[in-house]
Structure formats: C-alpha cells, structure tokens
Structure 1
Amino acid sequence: MAETDTRPVPFRGGGFRPRQVRGVGLAVFVALIALIEWGTRAGVISSLTLPRPSDVGTTLLDLAESGMLWTHMAPSLTRLAVGSALGVSAGIGIGVLIGLFSMVRAGLIPLVAALFPIPKIALLPLFVIWFGIDEGSKYALIALGTFTPTVVATYGAVDNVDRTLIRMGQSFGLTWLSIVRKIVLPGALPGILSGLRVSLAIGIILLVAAEMLGAEYGIGAYILQAGSLYDLERLFAGVVILSALGVATSSAIGWAERRMLAWRG
C-alpha cells in the first residue's frame, strides 16, 4: 500500500500562507548598494550618472545635523497626512456605499470611472486657480489622487465578500446592519487595506508634484532645487527620503493588517 503524505499544508483564505524569511530583503538591498559603490569608485559607472552611495549618505547626515531634514520633512508629512486622510476616508465611505446600494452604484460608478484615468498631476494648475498656490491646492490634489483608487478598491472588496456567509447570516436572523458590521466589512477589510498601499503610493507621487510648484519647503521642493543645480548627491538624498517614506507607510499598513486581520490566522 502506498504511503500518504499527512503533513499539514499551511493555508489561509484563498492561497497558501507565505513563509516569512528575515534578512533576505536587507541583504539584497545592501548588495545592490555595495555594487553601485564599487562601480562608481572603479569608474565603471560615471559620476554624472550616479553619485556614490557613501556621498549620498554623507549628504543625508549633513541634512539631519543642520536641521534642514526636518524643515523639509515636516511640511511634506503634514500635506501627505491631511490630503490622504481626506481622500482615503471619503473613498472608503463612498466605496462601501457603492458596494451596498444599487442606486448609489448606478449613480456614482460612471463618475468614478470618468475621474479614475485622469492624470491628477494635470489638474494641479486648475487646483491652483481654485484653491490658491498655498496648501489648499496641495491638499486637494493629494485627496483626489488617493480618493479614486480607494473607492475602486473598496467597492471591489465589498463585491468580493463571500455571499455564502451573507446567506448564512440571514438564515440565523441577523439584521441588515449586523450583516454589514459583522460579515461584509470584516470580509472587505483585506481588500481595502491592500488598496490603501496603492493609494498612499500615489499620494506620495502627487505630493512631490505639488511641492515642485510654489513650495519653498518640502521634499519635492528640495529635489527640484537639487535638480536645477545638477547636484546629484542632494537629488538622490531626496529620492532616498521619499523611498523611506514609502517603506514607512507600507510598513504601517502591514502592521495594521496584522492587528486588524489576526482572525485570518
């Protein structure tokens, strides 16, 4: 008789549970930086193409020691936080309404479909006319940029909730509100959080674009100044800051997923 494999297969939701392997990502990153450092020092990579990573690190340290790092980071973080909070909260609310109510879906889906493909950066001059060149136009641009992908991700997540669970709740006599609160929203939460990763990444892109127009301080303004002077060390230092900001937001969403979706096992 052939032996059967009785080992348990890790399984979660719709796929196999990924194994967390620590240190591999950091090792790849360090190896890439070391390769660029060697290439720039050996002359394989032109200094007009890429600066030495060590010089970029020195520039970042100088920024931190002089206090200019926080001078540029503070307004950028404020703009990103305010604009994203407005866009994400409105996007989740409207996305849930679209997913739950047919009349809302029929009325708003065409509008969302019309707004979604518009390059939001192209609307910046219009927002400057409407809200002025100060903070209002920047908040509005980031809010609109994070709003549309959040709406799409949210109503898609609501649509993908297992209807069998909803029927089960109805068979146990749960009210409509209880089904939404206990079944629909928890079932849609993984898709909503995944959509937030895309929305906040778009928010960072639009933040840089907004700060390149009429901002004295901010990471986008800092990169624009460095580019106009062809100062590659400062320019790449700004890019590193943006990359770190993206990693930080993604890590924050990952932390929220682990806390809020612990029920998935």
Structure 2
Amino acid sequence: MSDPRRPVPFRGAGFVAERKRGVGLAVFIVLLLLAEWGTGTGFISALTLPRPSDVLWTFQELYQSGLLFKHLVPSLTRLVVGAAMGATLGIAIGVLIGLFSLVRAGLVPLVAAIFPIPKIALLPLFVIWFGIDEMSKYALIAFGTFTPTVVATYAAVDNVDRTLIRMGQSFGLSWRSIVGKIVLPGAMPGILSGLRISLTIAIILLVAAEMLGAEYGIGAYILQAGSLYDLERLFAGVVILSVLGVAVSAAIAALERRVLRWRV
C-alpha cells in the first residue's frame, strides 16, 4: 500500500511542478561558454555570431557613454504607455463581452475581423493618422495589445465554472456580487495568461515602431547597428530586448502570485 504522505508527481493540469532552482541559469551559462569557445576558436564564423565577451564590452561602452539609457528610457516609456492603454481597454471590453449578450453580438464579429490583421502592416496608416512622433507608436502598441487581450479576457469569462455561478445564485447573491466574487476571480488566471502574450506582442511592435522615424529607442539602435553590419551592437540590442521580455514575464508572474493566492 502506497504511503499517503508521498508527494504526487507532476502529471499534468491540477498538479504542481517541483521547482528546480538554478537549472535555467546553468543552461544559459553553458550556452554562453559554448558560444565563447566556438567564436574564439573560429569554429563559429565571426560573421555569424559575435563573441559574447565582445557583446559584454559593448554593453559597458553603452553604459559609460550614457547611450544605454538614452535608448532604453524612450523604449520603456512607449511600451508602458501603449501597453497600458491597450491592455486596460482590452480587459474592460473583454469583460463586457463576456457578461452582456448584446455587447457580444455587436463586438465579437468586429474583434474577429481585426484580430488576424498583422499589426505591423498598420504602422504606415497610424503614421498618416497620428504623425511620425510618439502618438503613432503609442497607437500601434496599444492596438496590438488590445485585440489579444480582448479575446483572452472574454474567453476567460466564458470558461468560469457555471456551477459556482449557480451556487452563488442559490445563496441569493446579487448580480454584482456574483461578478465581483465569482466571475472576475475565476477569469483572472486566463486574463493574466492573455496579458503575458499581449505584452510579448507589444515588445515586438515597439521594435517595429522605433525602426520608423525614431532617433532613440532599442529598435532604432538595432536598425542603426544592422545598417553598419555591427554585430556586437546588434546583438547587444537583441539581448536588451530579451532581458526586457524576461522582466515583463517576471512581473506578470509576480502579479499572478499576488492576485491568485487563493489557488494555492
């Protein structure tokens, strides 16, 4: 007879995976060492991949010259403003679609029509509408964040367990109480998962927007490095974007731990 105190191994949904600290960092370090060895020995061509140590020196030069923050601050500002606009409106519209049949009938076909449109293709249109300055970049990021957030939000509302809603009704809870205490908390995991995807899309659109008509920004920095065939600077910009993506993912994970404590 098996010991009931023995932990259940991870087998899928509903079970908690055991965290292995340091494994991801170890894999990353091993890849860096392999890249350093390969580029140092000539096994990997310098035209294909720069030496990681050279990229590190490029970071140091960027920091010492002050260019790092000259490019990073505008990018972060555009990302935060645009993503906040798109995500806030997307969550609000998604909740309304999930709760009201009339709103669903009117807006779901519209969302379905604009969702497949490649948002980068709309950048010239936003430039015509809002000009070459910051507003067109905010609009592109907001629009790109809005549509996946709407879809994820109303899908999360639809997936809330109807048994819990009926239970709330049987206890005489008001419509507002059911929405606030059952529907929204039950939909929050899906909303946050959709937000994680939306913010990743926002970073992609940020780079695209900065490659058109921006003097400073990570996208503009990468474009300048690519036009000069400067692989060290190019990879430095790519690493900054990667770190930014990891930071966004970590922020969403922290928000999930705080908001979804009831699931533990």
What TM-score bracket applies, with the shorter chain setting the length?
A: over 0.9
User: Any residues of structure 2 matched to 1:30-41 within 5 Å, and which?
Assistant: 30-41=29-40
Cα distance, 1:66 vs structure 2: 1.1
Give matches, 1:1-265, under 5 Å. Answer: 3-6=1-4, 7=6, 9=8, 14-265=13-264
Deviation at 1:10, TM superposition (A): 7.5
Give the Cα–Cα distance (whole angstroms) in 1 for the partners of residues 51 and 142 of structure 2: 36
Distance 1:167 1:10 in 2: 34
Paired letter, 1:191? G
- Over the matched positions of the two proteins, sequence identity in percent amounts to 77
Deviation at 1:20, TM superposition (A): 1.1
CA distance 1:259–1:10, shift in 2 (3 Å): farther
Scaled by the length of structure 1, the TM-score of the pair is 0.97
SS at match of 2:47: coil
C-alpha change, 1:180 and 1:61, in structure 2 (3 Å) is same
Distance 1:171 1:36 in 2: 63
Following superposition, the deviation at residue 157 of structure 1 comes to: 0.5
Deviation at 1:103, TM superposition (A): 0.8
Residues 166 and 25 of structure 1: CA distance in aligned 2, closer, same or farther (over 3 Å): same
CA distance in 2, matches of 1:43, 1:176: 68
Q: Deviations over 1:174-227 (max 9, x none)?
A: 000000000000000011111111000000000000000000000000000000
Separation (CA, whole Å) in 2 of partners of 1:215 and 1:66: 20
Deviations 1:71-117 (A, max 9, x none): 00010000000000000000000000011111111111111111111
Unaligned runs of 5+ in 1: none
What is the DSSP-based 3-state SS (H/G/I as helix, E as strand, rest coil) of the residue aligned with 1:48?
Answer: coil
- Offset, 1:19: 1.2
Quick one: distance in 1 between partners of 2:111 and 2:42? 51
- Shift of residue 5 of structure 1? 4.1
Distance 2:195 2:150 in 1: 10
Residue 55 of structure 1 aligns with an amino acid whose one-letter code is D
Distance 1:162 1:10 in 2: 26
AA aligned opposite 2:259: M
- CA separation in 2, counterparts of 1:64 and 1:219? 14
Letter of the 2:61 partner, please give it: D
What TM-score does the superposition give when structure 2 sets the normalisation length? Answer: 0.97
Tell me, in whole angstroms, the C-alpha distance in 1 between the residues paired with 2:18 and 2:151: 30
Could you tell me how far apart the structure 1 residues matched to 2:3 and 2:35 are? 47
1:49 & 1:169 partners in 2: Cα distance? 61
Per the TM alignment, residue 65 of structure 1 is displaced from its structure 2 partner at its CA by: 1.2
Aligned residue type for 1:128: V
